[in-house]
Amino acid sequence: MEDFAFHRPGSVAEAQETLRGTEDSKFMAGGQSLIPLMKLDMAAPGAVVSLTGIDELRGIEQQDGSLVIGAGMTHSEVAESDDVRNAISALAGLAGSIGDPQVRNRGTLGGSVAHADPAADYPAALVALGATVITDRREIAAEDFFQGMFETPLETDEVITSVRFPVPDSAGYSKFPNPASKYAIAGVMVARNGADVKVAVTGAGTGVFRATAFEEALAGDFSAGALDGASVSADGLVSDTDASAEYRAHLVGVMARRAVEACG
């Protein structure tokens, strides 16, 4: 690993100032993806600006039918939060299925969202729940936020401060995980709001995507049975040593049915 300068500012403003003042610097929000990458020399920032010391990124609150979770909340904190469990238990469950307990103790919501790993769990939740990513300067709808593999509209010095999740009527998440990393090989989040159903798929493609055919089927009949025989096309899905594109396409259907069954 190459060496780098390290900063841990106490506010978002200070973090941005530090970042702008240092060439080739990166934010780090827990480091559970960035540090493994740096160990492999796949990321070699000149400076790391840690966001873990910023109080304004913390907290979970209910606001007009939404749950606003601070970007600095760890996956453990989200998983164990009574507010989250009561409002959107599937989201708490999803957070509790990320990596392992130690990763969850360090990794944060904001870090995961900004990283936009195509196999991460959170993107499925954000897209299915119709969440909004709130940064220091704007609000971005989840569907506009995830632009493909590791790609987001975030500017270099832009900090995610929180994510607003509208509380759905019901939601469920089902994941077929990579046994070692627990990343999704195919993960499906289903959320229902009245007649509106969103189905978001992570891990199977090169970025989170909505399974619109599933949504249509479920809009008419919100039951696992409505998805019998439904599948997504293998075209464009990832094929690798974990699973072929065809197998992933099949798993998306199975996970979707199980996610519907898991809807409370």
Partner 1 sequence: MSNNGRKIKSDWNLIGTPMRKVEGLDKSTGRALYTDDLVFPGMLHGKILRSPHPHARIVSIDTSSAEALDGVHGVVTGQDMPTTYGIIPWTPDEYPLCVDRVRYVGDGVAAVAAVDEDTALRALELIEVEYEELPAFFDPFEALEADGSTPYVHEPKKADWNGNVTKKVHLEFGEVDELMDGSDAVVEGEYFFEGSTHTAIEPHCAIGLWQAGGGFQRQDGESSGKLTVWSATQVPHYLHRELARVLEVDQAHVRVLQPLVGGAFGGKSEPFDLEFCVAKLSMITGRPVKILYTREEVFYAHRGRHPFHMKYRTGATAAGKLTSVDAEIVLDGGAYASFGLVTTYYAGQLLCAPYEMPAYRFDSTRVYTNKPACGPKRGHGSVQPRFAFEVQIDKLSERLDLDPIEFRRLNFIGSNTRTINELRVTSNGFMECLESVERESAWKDRFRKLPFGCGLGVAGSTYITGTNYPIYPNDMPQSGVQMQVDRSGRVAVFSGASEIGQGCDSMVAYIAAEELGVPLDYVRVLRGDTDFTPVDLGAYSSRVTFMVGNAAIDAARKLRGMVQEAVAEEWDVKPGEVLLAGGLALWAPDTERQMHVKEAFNLAEAKFGTLGSTGSYNTPKDVHGEYRGATIGASPAYSFTAHVAEVEVDVETGIVDVKKIWVAHDCGRALNPVLVEGQMEGSAYMGFGEALMEEQVFKDAEHGRAGLHDAPSLLDYRIPTSLDTPELQSLIVESIDPEGPYGAKEAGEGPLHPSIPAIANAIYDAVGVRMDRLPFSPPNVWRALEAAREADTLRKPILNPGAGAPTSTPELVPGD
Partner 2 sequence: MRKVVRRGNFVFTYVIENDDDPTTPSTFRVYKKEGDGSWIAGAGFETTRPGTDGGLGCSATLTFTEHPPTLTTPRDEPCRLFARFHPLSGSLSMPTVSLTVNGQAVEGEAEGRTLLVDFIRETLGLTGTHVGCDTSQCGACVVHVGGASVKSCTMLAVEADGADVTTVEGLATNGTLHPMQTAFHEHHGLQCGFCTPGMMLSGIDLVGRNANPSEHEVREWLEGNLCRCTGYHNIVKAVQAAAAEMGG
* Three-class secondary structure of residue 254 per DSSP: helix
Among 46, 220, 225, 264, binds partner 2 (CB under 8 A): 46
- Among 21, 101, 220, 264, which residue sits at the site for partner 2 (rule: CB under 8 A)? 101
Contact map string, positions 224 to 253, toward partner 1, x by CB under 8 A: -----------------xxxx--x--xx--
Q: How far apart are the first and last CA of the chain?
A: 46
CA–CA dist 4, 22 (Å, integer):
11
- The backbone torsions φ and ψ at residue 155, rounded to the nearest 5 degrees and listed phi first, read -85, 160
CB of 90 to partner 1, least distance (A): 20
Q: How far apart are CA 108 and CA 197, in angstroms?
A: 27
Q: Taking CB under 8 A as the rule, does residue 139 contact partner 2?
A: no
The binding track of 67-86 with respect to partner 2, each residue x by CB under 8 A or -, is ---------x---x------
- Which of 65, 179, 194, 229: binder of partner 1 (CB under 8 A)? 179
Contact stretch for partner 2 (CB under 8 A) within 37-45, 136-144, 218-226, 248-256: 37-45
Site stretch for partner 2 (CB under 8 A), options 56-64, 189-197, 239-247, 250-258: 239-247
CB of 112 to partner 2, least distance (A): 11
Among 15, 54, 68, 114, binds partner 2 (CB under 8 A): 114
Spatial separation of the C-alpha atoms in residues 63 and 216, rounded to whole Å? 29
CA torsion 255-257-259-260 (nearest 10°) is 170
Long-range contacts of 41-44 (CB under 8 A, 24+ apart): 41/1, 41/2, 44/1, 44/2, 44/4
Could you list the residues that contact partner 2 (CB under 8 A)?
1-6, 8, 24, 26, 31-44, 46-48, 50, 52, 76, 80, 99-103, 105-106, 114-119, 147-152, 154, 156, 180-183, 206, 236, 238-242
